[in-house]
Amino acid sequence: MSSPVKYTLTGNIGVVTVDNPPVNALSHAVRQGLLDAFETAAGDASEALLLVCEGRTFIAGADISEFGQPPQEPFLPDLCDRMEASDKLFVAAIHGTALGGGFEVALSADYRCAVPSAKVGLPEVMLGLLPGAGGTQRTPRLAGVDAALQLMTSGKPIPAAMAKEAGLVDEIIEGDLVDGALTYVQKLLDDNAPRRSTSALDVPEHDAAIFDQFRAVLGKKARGQVAPQAIVDCVEKAAATPYEEGVAYERQRFMELMGGDQSKALRHFFFAERAAAKVDDLPRDVELRNVESVAVIGGGTMGGGIAMTFANAGIPVTLVEISDEALERGLAIIDRNYAGSVKRGKLSEDKAAACRALISGATDYSQLADVDLVIEAVFENLNLKKEIFAKLDDVCKDGAILATNTSYQDVNEIAAATKRPQDVLGLHFFSPAHIMKLLEVVRGEKTADDVLATCMKLAKRIRKVPVVAGVCYGFIGNRMLQPYAQQTQLLLLEGATPEQVDTAMENFGMAMGPLRVFDLAGLDVGYKAREALSEEEKGDPAGYRVPDLLVEAGRLGQKSGSGFYSYDENRKPTPDPEVHKMIEDTASELGIKRRDISDDEIVERLVGALVDEGHKIIDEGIAQRASDIDVVYVYGYGFPAFRGGPMFHASLTAG
Give catalytic residues, as residue numbers.
104, 124
Distance CA 245, CA 462 (A): 47
Strands of the 89-94 sheet, one edge to the other: 5-10, 13-18, 48-53, 89-94, 111-114, 171-172
3-state helix, strand, coil in the chain (%, to 5): 50, 15, 35
Is 537 in contact with 587 (CB distance < 8 Å)?
A: no
Residue type, 24: N
Close Cβ partners of 366 (under 8 Å, ≥ 6 residues apart): 395
CA angle 530, 536, 541 (to 5 degrees): 65
Give the strand pairing for 573-575 and 565-567.
Answer: antiparallel
471-495 burial, b at 16+ Cβ within 10 Å, e below that, comes to bbebbbbbbbbbbbbbbbbbbbbbb
Distance CA 128, CA 185 (A): 37
Selection from 269, 295, 478 nearest residue 369 by Cα: 295
Distance CA 551, CA 529 (A): 13
Distance CA 228, CA 174 (A): 35
Is 565 in contact with 498 (CB distance < 8 Å)?
A: yes
Distances from the Cα of 297 to the Cα of 123, 306, 401, angstroms: 40, 10, 13
Distances from the Cα of 365 to the Cα of 84, 254, 512, angstroms: 66, 59, 40
Close Cβ partners of 226 (under 8 Å, ≥ 6 residues apart): 128, 257, 260, 262
Distance CA 333, CA 296 (A): 14
List strand residue ranges (DSSP E) for 54-195, in order: 89-94, 97-99, 111-114, 119-121, 158-159, 171-172
Close Cβ partners of 268 (under 8 Å, ≥ 6 residues apart): 627, 630, 644, 645, 648
Is 116 in contact with 175 (CB distance < 8 Å)?
A: no
Distance CA 494, CA 305 (A): 39
Is 348 in contact with 338 (CB distance < 8 Å)?
A: no
Close Cβ partners of 653 (under 8 Å, ≥ 6 residues apart): none
Ramachandran region of residue 38, left (φ > 0), alpha (ψ -120 to 50) or beta?
alpha
Distances from the Cα of 292 to the Cα of 66, 86, 285, 307, 400, angstroms: 39, 54, 21, 13, 11
Close Cβ partners of 558 (under 8 Å, ≥ 6 residues apart): 519, 520, 522, 567, 571
Strands of the 158-159 sheet, one edge to the other: 97-99, 119-121, 158-159
